[in-house]
Structure 1
Amino acid sequence: MGLGGCIILIVVGAILAFATDWHMQGVDLQLVGVICMIVGLIGVATFSSIYRRRRVVVPPPVVEEERHHPRDGYGL
């Protein structure tokens, strides 16, 4: 599950927890919404920690300037 799936879980959970007034026998939709939001937040935290660990910062290469050393003694 990627970052998009986690965000969708959070959104669906928030809709179920705060924006619905359905009543199903044997199912508490507010609790299902809260569980979806918690799972989505855990997924976002896990995804971001894995992404941060994978990201490697590569320092820019060091380019040394070539210096002109005249061999005949008449340097510019």
Structure 2
Amino acid sequence: MYIGLGIVLLVLGLILAFDVITVDLSYVNDNALGVILIVCGILAIVLSFALTDRYRRRHVVVDSAAVHDRHYVDDPIVEERRYR
């Protein structure tokens, strides 16, 4: 979800930093605002990849045949599923 926000911030920052579009505001420096948006965009992308594993749900699935077989009772099958 935050990857899209990071890409938008990155593109807006690159546009402002490379003077593709100039903003004529006396109290805003275009290059500084562009660099700030670039840093925020990269940070949003990196954090979205770093926190993706935290939102995964993990389920333990036990096979019904394994319940009857005493060799596999202690070793459940771990299956990861992604919900988005």
Is the shorter-chain TM-score for this pair beyond 0.5, marking a shared fold?
yes
List gaps (5 residues or longer) in structure 1: 65-76
- Extract structure 1 runs of 4+ deviating beyond 4 A: 55-58, 61-64
Question: How many residues end up aligned between the 2 structures?
Answer: 62
Q: Per-residue displacement from partner, 1:4-55 (whole Å, max 9, x unpaired)?
A: 0110000000000002344431210110000000001011110000113444
List gaps (5 residues or longer) in structure 2: 67-84
TM-score by length of 2: 0.57
What is the Cα-based RMSD across aligned positions, in Å? 2.5
TM-score by length of 1: 0.63
The percent of aligned pairs where both chains have the same amino acid is: 27
More strand by share: 2
SS at match of 1:43: helix
